Structure 1
């Protein structure tokens, strides 16, 4: 049975993410953190927009590829340091993914498009960049909001939620309000966005 370039690239992305030394427990099973994130991104994309292009599918899977290799602590612990870290991460994710896609036999145009999406260029203007951002925000709200709630005060949380909300499309907002939150978190989101 022949493997398609998409299957091959997906396997290689998973293999890279499976090396994450950081472990997250989900439903009593231990996962490499970024492999779990990659799976959540892909599943959310296919649920939210099943007809997503192959480029978006790969960009979703590779969004955080090998993220642990560039530690936040290696940058100044201020806003400027944070933004520089995020910018460098995007380039790192795009470059590593491009190398995998080239090895899998994709053409340069396809690879360039995936890099464009991973670097989240033209947010709000490019439909597929916006789609990817919606999925990132939905995955955050569904799976990663709870740990944030435990770490930050209410005002900081409202600010984080509002920033997340403002990055999303109307369709993203509708999907976000259907997520099964705890009553407290649902109230927090409603307070943050003024519902």
Structure 2
């Protein structure tokens, strides 16, 4: 368990920051491969053309992606939640990037792995989460592998433009899935608003939970690889402090309970010690 000086356990010491680049690193998943569907253009705030689908259309060539475990098609008597979740996971299963599950040592699509991690942390954080929050968290990186970080300039401005585009794109795609699954417009829009992280500045309760989950998954699943690839220790410490500042009290409690080893643990303790 990480040890935190008592003076740092309150939000007064390291306040919740209102805006920053996010809990994740400016890198792509391991073994990133890129696929850009040739369909109609989606609004892109940065002058780099990126074609994306307006709905979940699976090209025949993608149906045979190795190791892509597709959920069974939903039946007519299933709930809107079940239908939406199945469609979201079906898209996750198409991610050509693979990772190995630490539990089974089985290779699975990275975004499906990420989504499952998010749900697992949500269940620990807020077991009574609403269906809208559950879907938004499950779809946090919806089809992100189609728009890699490298498609935008490797600058601070490029990074923020990339993230802004992704949030809007992911929200619109998942909102359409929710409507197709049988949700009303208001519920579908709520899912989209959560994916866009609207209300974070106003500390909307569900948006804060979503941000906590994103930060926890970053620390648990991505930070070790990230710190090994980045030589600038001060930059790493700055990112950790910003991550901590974005989290609510429950998220911080869970972060302190994480098992970390080696340099990752040392960096986190150093960041929290100021």
Task: Provide TM-score, normalisation by structure 1.
Answer: 0.96
State the alpha-carbon separation in 2 of the partners of residues 146 and 193 from structure 1.
17
State the alpha-carbon separation in 2 of the partners of residues 16 and 83 from structure 1.
25
The alpha-carbon deviation at position 188 of structure 1 amounts to 1.3
State the alpha-carbon separation in 1 of the partners of residues 150 and 216 from structure 2.
26
Bigger CA drift: 14-23 or 2-11?
2-11
State the alpha-carbon separation in 1 of the partners of residues 126 and 182 from structure 2.
26
Q: Which of 196, 201, 213 in structure 2 is aligned with 1:135? A: 213
Which segments of 5 or more consecutive residues in structure 2 lack a partner in the other structure? 1-74
Q: Which has the higher helix share?
A: 1
- 3-state secondary structure, aligned to 2:167: helix
- 3-state secondary structure, aligned to 1:173: helix
Partner of 1:92: 169
The alpha-carbon deviation at position 71 of structure 1 amounts to 1.9
Partner of 2:230: 152
The alpha-carbon deviation at position 185 of structure 1 amounts to 2.0
Runs of 4+ in 1 over 4 A off after TM superposition: none
Which segments of 5 or more consecutive residues in structure 1 lack a partner in the other structure? none
What pairs with 1:20-59 in structure 2 (closer than 5 Å)?
20-27=95-102, 28-59=105-136
The alpha-carbon deviation at position 184 of structure 1 amounts to 3.2
Task: Provide TM-score, normalisation by structure 2.
Answer: 0.69
More relative contact order in 1 or in 2 (CA 8 Å, sep 6+)? 2
Bigger CA drift: 13-22 or 71-80?
71-80
Q: Verify: 1:188 aligned to 2:263, yes or no.
A: no
- 3-state secondary structure, aligned to 1:145: helix
State the alpha-carbon separation in 1 of the partners of residues 199 and 181 from structure 2.
27
Q: Verify: 1:75 aligned to 2:138, yes or no.
A: no
Q: Which of 173, 177, 184 in structure 1 is aligned with 2:252? A: 173
Q: Which of 162, 176, 183 in structure 1 is aligned with 2:241? A: 162
The alpha-carbon deviation at position 187 of structure 1 amounts to 2.4
Partner of 2:192: 115
State the alpha-carbon separation in 1 of the partners of residues 228 and 255 from structure 2.
20
**C-alpha offsets along residues 10-61 of structure 1, whole Å, 9 cap, x if unaligned?**
1110001100011112232111111111111111101111011111100000
State the alpha-carbon separation in 1 of the partners of residues 172 and 250 from structure 2.
30
- 3-state secondary structure, aligned to 1:86: helix
Q: Which structure has the larger Rg? A: 2
The alpha-carbon deviation at position 183 of structure 1 amounts to 4.4
